Amino acid sequence: MKVLIGVLLFIMAGCSTLPDTKEAITKHGKYSYHLSGNGPLTIVFEAGLTDNMTTWEPVLKNLKENNRIFAYNRAGYGASQSKNLQRDGSTIINELRELLAVADVKPPYLLVGHSIGGTYMELYAKTFPKEVSGVVLVDAKPASWTAECEKSGGINCALPVLPAWVKIILPTVVDSEMKGMPLTMQLVNENPNFPNVPLVVLSAGKSYWGSVDSMSAKEKVSWETVQYTQKQLSNLSPNSKQIICDICEHYIHHENPKLVTEAIQWISEELRDISN
């Protein structure tokens, strides 16, 4: 079901774009990005698998103009292309870092990432901690999920593999990113250097397995593991909080975009208090 939803969202977003869209050429390739606003807080958005930068539109329209907003298309989405065939997290965050430099978007950054995009943002924060002012993880994919799920005896614990029919519809980069996930998760798990910055973990309160009463025993274990590993994400920083959206499934930024803007506002206030 999640794969099908991703396919439908990708098709609907395929021809859309954001205002203030620009293009930049870096040593890695060519990228399309959105840059708007002006102010002391620079917010960088990273989309999930199958999604381009338009996925953040419900959030962007609610942000104040005194923030500097950056969203972009990873290589393989929209007009963005890369010379790098490998699509693991390390490759992706280094491409993003180079793009930010070419676009003259200077750190520190408040990183916002959804799903696997959240995993990439966690890796960015751990790899370049001095460049990060805060992080919002929007139902991010915890790197500990597979190991915890297998240890608990859940179902569908392995990282997903795209069905052949989906590969025909989606761009090849989606399959490439999925093949890069084991290395991405390994890199995140091996790096303990998450910065001491404000962190908000936004977690789905509804499971795609349905209500708890309708779940099989193994599905219940898997759902409990999802909840446990989401809670683990909030332990990355001593200055953090987890918010569970009871009405949301995976796309919290579509179902309740206000939660994302409120998370960004909380971090902004925390940063203001720290600087005073």
Is residue 138 within 8 A of residue 262, CB to CB? The reply is no
Which of 34, 48, 53, 51 lies closest to 100 in space, CA to CA? 34
pTM: 0.92
Is residue 208 within 8 A of residue 1, CB to CB? The reply is yes
The token pair that represents 166 in the structure block: 């989906």
The token pair that represents 88 in the structure block: 């693991």
The token pair that represents 270 in the structure block: 């925390």
Give the count of beta carbons closer than 10 Å to the beta carbon of residue 237. Answer: 19
Cα–Cα distance measured from residue 91 to residue 54, given in angstroms and rounded to the nearest whole number: 22
Q: What is the pLDDT along the chain (276 residues), one digit of tens a residue?
A: 444 445 444 444 444 578 889 999 999 999 999 999 988 899 999 999 999 999 999 999 888 778 999 999 999 999 999 999 999 999 999 999 999 999 999 999 999 999 999 999 999 999 999 999 999 999 999 999 999 999 999 888 887 777 777 777 777 899 999 999 999 999 999 999 999 999 999 999 998 777 888 888 988 898 999 999 999 999 999 999 999 999 999 999 999 999 999 999 999 999 988 776
Does CATH place domain 2-252 in 3.40.50.1820?
A: yes
Q: Which residues contact 16 (CB under 8 A, 6 or more apart)?
A: 54
